[in-house]
Amino acid sequence: MTAWLRERMVLLLGLGVLAYTFVPIAVVVLMSFNEPAARNVYSFDGFTLHNWANICEDAAMCEALGLSLRIGFLATLVATVLGTLAGFALVRHDFAGRSSANLLIFLPMAAPEIVLGSSLLTLFVAAGASGLLGFWTILIAHIMFCLSFVVVTVRSRLAGLDDTLEQAAADLYATPAQTFWRVTFPLVLPGILGAALLSFSLSFDDFIITNLNSGNETTFPMYVWGAYRVGVPMQVNVIGTIMLLFSLAVVVTGELVSRRRRRALV
Amino acid sequence: MTQAAQAVPETATLAAEPSGSRRRRGRTGYLLMLPATLWLLLFFVVPFYSLVATSLFDASGSDFRGYEMTYAWGNYVDVVEAYWQPFLRSLWYAALATGICLVLGYVLAYAIAFKAGRWKWLLLVLVIAPFFTSFLVRTLSWQLILSDEGFVVDALQFLRVLGPDDRLLATPVAVVAGLAYNFLPFMVLPLFASLDKIDPRLVEASSDLYAHPFVGFWKVTWPLSLPGVVSGTLLTFIPAAGDYINAEFLGSTNQRVIGNVIQGQFIDANNSPVAAALSVLLMVLIVAMVLVYVRRAGTEELL
Amino acid sequence: MPPSADTAATGAPAPAAPDAGPGGSDGGLRLSSLTKRYANGFTAVHDLDLDVPRGSFIALLGPSGCGKTTTLRMVAGLEVPTSGRITLAGQDITDRRAHQRPVNTVFQNYALFPHLDIYENVAFGLRRRKVRDVESKVRAMLELVELDSQARKRPAQLSGGQQQRVALARALINEPEVLLLDEPLGALDLKLRRSMQIEIKRIQVEVGLTFMHVTHDQEEAMTMADTVAVMNGGVIEQLGAPAELYENPRSTFVANFLGQSNLIEGRVLSRSADVTTLDMHGITVSVPTARTHTDGDRGWIGIRPEKVLIGEEGADLDAPGNTVPGGVVSDVSFVGVSTQYLVRMPWGQELQVFSQNTGRTRMFTVGEKVELSWRPEYAFCLDINQDAAAGVDDGETR
């Protein structure tokens, strides 16, 4: 018995930590079915599907959600494209200032969000654009902080790519363009998709930077922030649960697809 | 003479990049790099410059009347005098949270890397899954758990760890717990990446060479995982030091951190120079701490 | 540096090249004054000349860092030579890029495309060149390498030996002018490696293409190739048929890298057209002049361990000419087919002796006094200025 325990001690402890990270998640899921007795009482008073059936009961919440989705989608798109190009440049090309470029990519990740947000705000104010704070400034900020994460993800995927594969393609009569589209790109694609998923969740989740640069717009995290004093509607938990399920589905599907590819026809 | 040729062995043929095939020179590199560089210059470097400039404006101006550039270095003295407490508190909370994350994260990453077997990927997915539920929703959920009526307080009161009138919410404990919880994935992932690369046979070799498992861990596994430890602690500490959501949701006015102050000075007090000076100070402090830390850990190549 | 070796394969037999003209260079591969110097100043390949007749199987053999892989990569177009020309089938291809050369490579770690199945891996080159009849060609090729049932699997699902065959098929299907093999068997275990050696050789004879094979394994080179170029320090030390290289090495490096050799210092007493006589620590021995590769008055007298006979003191050994008394057995290793002795000679050197286990002679024990002898025609003589230990460690591949 002790031997069994000693053998599995680390695993059990690890699973314990994992379980701890799921306690708040479990509460979120649970509360999405809650029927609160009053608006700002946070106890589980009764089971209901009401919140799931009426997600947009509070129109402001859904408006904020829509904005977050739009920003998240656009920021992901732009950051993924620019970041992928930069990732290729950094791994596959030699140019003056390559190490400065690497530093430039690294720094935004080393800066606390509050610093990034206040810097941008002072720029927009100095440029006389404080009246224009809103959708576009949020988008600019989100692309900025997602960019570095995309570059880093794509860069490491590319660096891990065995370059003899590209040599083999060239050896087998593939022109540089064919080598790129038939060998390099398909092999880097999972990294790019991962980077996009990461971008989206960073963008969707950001509060600190957005709050400083949003003008009169309200994103989903800002809505939660604003609503929590008066009592957050239970639908917020529904959104949290949906986000969780959605991303789990994406990740698990991705993993299963790549496994099936590896194992097919065994 | 043949020895000389071997001294420069195949490394020369492998490491000296086969010219023309791996890193290409020419215009394409610049073109690919250009958009991202421009974006970061315009919306990261230039803003930081403008942040520094703003921090030197005459603080007696206002957002409406405009500011005068007076190179008011005194702003920095003023903000340190006025806000050194939330400043230190931020760094202290972040350090505590990072320490907790390191312990919990290491156990978890170690278990996944060495003990999970075929369930490795599933456990990794589960580590990042909470990360995909909105940060604020997650933190609100903590508020609920740690609230006076929540089961944690009840249990602790039952166990006499807490007195009947003690609470968790609105205490430093709650804030640090929230920070540690929220940034745990940032610790686990780099740690896992480092640990997963370690050949388990190295640990076996150390026990074969008479090392007690703890000694083997300390002399083999831990040093090899240092790159992960360093990047994990940085990725945890930096955002934790600037975060104010946990302090706001889980603390009280006694747990105000520097993020609260900066945000308040910008938005509510309309006092940009003070807020900017605080931001610059925070950035400088963090960069300094990171440099010292990275140098001491001997992992400069991470930067 | 050792003397720069023979530079033309004129003497090399090319059995599978019926259409090769005199000199064998018409349709073949010719490297002239090929040099590769890296930016860090390291010269990987130095002024290399090599003629590979069409349809022959040549092996570039040498230790790591000797320049063999760099040479191969320059032929493939994956590295740009610093100077020199590469001619293939009469055409100068030096400035053509990899995808424009009728040359295919079997890479060291196979470099199979992990995202494509076996069929598409093999079809890759055909599709790029828009060749017709991809289907039937790929099927035929997969049959040749006995992988037709695996067509729709991905590389990661195959064993090492199967992956190796896919890599071979993927290159062969393009019917290149030259097929390059870059240590293609290095990742396989010994047994599989043996059978693949025979398999590749069979395929080469069957398809009749020119094969250029890079390896550090001397047994592999000798088993597979009909011509072996021994490389060291960026130059070819010696070129020839395996048996010729083995029996008549021209440098200490070749003598040690290909098999093992006893090298004993000797002083030249006389030279005639047929025989050179030397004084070897007080014993007069003779070496055929044709196998004496030094003009100096001293030289390394070389003899392969299996050519040395071992007997009791005063025994009548069937090796007239070179008899060396006064040895003491210092080590005995019984390895089944033979017994390997180390014999300490009166001048302090230990010589290796491999005695075939024919059962006709008894085994000797450590400390026994013995007499060694060998037939003069098996001995060779090398330049005393060369390092007697050159290539010794490099040769130990297994």
**Six-digit token string for B107:** 């156990």
User: Is A262 within 8 Å of chain C by CB?
Assistant: yes
For C34-67, the pLDDT digits (tens) are 999 988 888 999 999 999 999 999 999 999 889 9
On the 0-12 / 13-18 / 19+ scale of CB atoms within 10 A, A79 is buried
Asked if residue C300 and residue C232 are part of one domain, the reply reads: no
Q: Which residues of B160-189 are buried (b: 16+ CB within 10 A; e: fewer)?
A: eebeeeebbbbbbbbbbbbbbbbbbbbbbb
Q: What domain range includes position C142?
A: 9-247
Q: From chain C, which residues contact A within 8 Å (Cβ)?
A: 76-78, 97-100, 103-105, 107-109, 111-115, 124-125, 128-129, 152-154, 156-157, 170-171, 174
Is residue B286, in this structure, part of any structural domain at all?
yes
Please state the ipTM of this predicted complex. 0.87
Place of tokens 């450590």: C366
Per-residue pLDDT at B40 exceeds 90: yes
For C324-376, the pLDDT digits (tens) are 888 999 999 999 899 999 999 999 999 999 999 888 888 899 999 999 989 88
Per-residue pLDDT at B9 exceeds 50: no
Rounded to a whole number of angstroms, the distance from the CA of B216 to the nearest CA of chain C is 32
Q: Which chains touch B (3 or more CB pairs under 8 A)?
A: A, C
Is residue B3, in this structure, part of any structural domain at all?
no
Are C40 and B1 an interchain contact pair (Cβ–Cβ within 8 Å)? no
Is residue B40, in this structure, part of any structural domain at all?
no
Rounded to a whole number of angstroms, the distance from the CA of C129 to the nearest CA of chain B is 21
Residues in CB range of C20: below 8 A, 6 or more apart: C14, C26, C27, C28, C53, C54, C55, C56
Lowest-confidence pick of A41-45, B165-169, B221-225: A41-45
Which of C125, C153, C156 lies at the smallest CB-CB distance from A173? C125
- pLDDT number for residue C365: 92
Residues of chain C with confidence (pLDDT) below 70: 1-26, 317-321, 393-398
Is residue B55, in this structure, part of any structural domain at all?
no
Phi and psi angles of residue C42, each rounded to the nearest 5 degrees, phi first: -75, 125
Set of chain C residues whose Cβ sits within 8 Å of the Cβ of B12: 38, 40, 42, 44, 65
Question: What's the total number of domains in chain B?
Answer: 1
Categorize the per-residue pLDDT at A40 as very low, low, confident or very high, splitting at 50, 70 and 90.
low
DSSP C159-214: -HHHHHHHHHHHHHTT--SEEEEESTTTTS-HHHHHHHHHHHHHHHHHH--EEEEE
Q: What domain range includes position B138?
A: 85-302
Residue A62: HSE in the Cβ half-sphere, 13 Å Cα cutoff: 8
Residues in CB range of C276: below 8 A, 6 or more apart: C268, C270, C286, C287, C288, C289, C292, C381
Asked if residue C202 and residue C83 are part of one domain, the reply reads: yes
Q: Please, what is the end-to-end C-alpha distance for chain A in angstroms?
A: 39
Residue of B nearest to A198 (CA): B132
Report the DSSP beta bridge partners of residue B265: none
Are A42 and B48 an interchain contact pair (Cβ–Cβ within 8 Å)? no
User: Is B17 within 8 Å of chain C by CB?
Assistant: no
Report the DSSP beta bridge partners of residue C353: C341
Are A172 and C99 an interchain contact pair (Cβ–Cβ within 8 Å)? yes
Set of chain C residues whose Cβ sits within 8 Å of the Cβ of A157: none
Eight-class DSSP state of C332 = E
User: Is A85 within 8 Å of chain B by CB?
Assistant: yes
Is residue C388, in this structure, part of any structural domain at all?
no
Is residue C317, in this structure, part of any structural domain at all?
yes
Are A173 and C170 an interchain contact pair (Cβ–Cβ within 8 Å)? no
Question: What's the total number of domains in chain C?
Answer: 2
When the pLDDT of each residue in chain B is averaged and rounded to a whole number, the result is 81
At residue B8, what is the residue type?
V
Residue of A nearest to C178 (CA): A171
Is residue C393, in this structure, part of any structural domain at all?
no
Are A118 and B262 an interchain contact pair (Cβ–Cβ within 8 Å)? yes
- pLDDT number for residue C330: 95
Asked if residue C290 and residue C241 are part of one domain, the reply reads: no
For C262-290, the pLDDT digits (tens) are 999 999 999 998 999 999 998 999 999 99
**Chain A, window 167-186: residues with a beta carbon less than 8 angstroms from a chain C beta carbon:** 167-176, 178-179, 182-183, 186
- pLDDT number for residue C244: 93
Asked if residue C286 and residue C240 are part of one domain, the reply reads: no
User: Is A14 within 8 Å of chain B by CB?
Assistant: yes
Rounded to a whole number of angstroms, the distance from the CA of B4 to the nearest CA of chain A is 28
Are A172 and C170 an interchain contact pair (Cβ–Cβ within 8 Å)? yes
Is residue C124, in this structure, part of any structural domain at all?
yes
Is residue B26, in this structure, part of any structural domain at all?
no
Asked if residue C334 and residue C299 are part of one domain, the reply reads: yes
Asked if residue C175 and residue C60 are part of one domain, the reply reads: yes
Are C69 and B10 an interchain contact pair (Cβ–Cβ within 8 Å)? yes
Is residue B169, in this structure, part of any structural domain at all?
yes
- pLDDT number for residue B303: 46
When the pLDDT of each residue in chain A is averaged and rounded to a whole number, the result is 87
Set of chain A residues whose Cβ sits within 8 Å of the Cβ of C78: 167, 170-171
- pLDDT number for residue C81: 93
Is residue B144, in this structure, part of any structural domain at all?
yes
Q: Which domains are present in chain A? A: 59-232 (1.10.3720.10)
Set of chain B residues whose Cβ sits within 8 Å of the Cβ of A8: 115
Categorize the per-residue pLDDT at B217 as very low, low, confident or very high, splitting at 50, 70 and 90.
confident
Asked if residue C316 and residue C205 are part of one domain, the reply reads: no
Taking a C-beta distance cutoff of 8 angstroms, is the pair B97, B175 a contact?
A: no
d(CA B221, CA B195): 8
CB atoms within 10 A of CB B238: 24
- In C233-344, where do the E strands start and end? 235-240, 262-271, 275-280, 283-288, 298-303, 309-312, 322-334, 338-344
Q: Which of C197, C223, C247 is the last residue before a domain boundary?
A: C247
Residue of C nearest to A261 (CA): C154
d(CA B276, CA B261): 11
Q: Which of C186, C215, C247 is the last residue before a domain boundary?
A: C247
For A45-77, the pLDDT digits (tens) are 778 888 888 888 888 889 999 999 999 999 999
DSSP A158-224: HHTS-THHHHHHHHTT--HHHHIIIIIHHHHHHHHHHHHHHHHHHHHH--HHHHHH-TT---HHHHH
Taking a C-beta distance cutoff of 8 angstroms, is the pair C362, C261 a contact?
A: no
Are C78 and B18 an interchain contact pair (Cβ–Cβ within 8 Å)? yes
Q: Which of C247, C271, C306 is the last residue before a domain boundary?
A: C247
- pLDDT number for residue A156: 86
Asked if residue C270 and residue C205 are part of one domain, the reply reads: no
**Six-digit token string for C336:** 């089944």
CATH number for the domain that contains residue C327: 2.40.50.140
CATH number for the domain that contains residue C187: 3.40.50.300
Asked if residue C283 and residue C228 are part of one domain, the reply reads: no
Lowest-confidence pick of A17-21, A165-169, B215-219, C195-199: B215-219
Are A164 and C107 an interchain contact pair (Cβ–Cβ within 8 Å)? yes
- Listed as own residue / partner, the contacts of B47-52 with beta carbons closer than 8 Å and 24 or more positions apart are B47/A116, B47/A119, B47/A120, B47/A122, B47/A123, B48/A115, B48/A119, B48/B283, B50/A119, B50/A122, B50/A123, B50/A126, B51/A115, B51/A118, B51/A119, B51/A122, B51/A123, B51/B276, B51/B279, B51/B280, B52/B276, B52/B280
CATH number for the domain that contains residue B103: 1.10.3720.10
- pLDDT number for residue C17: 38
Radius of gyration of chain C measured on its C-alpha atoms: 24
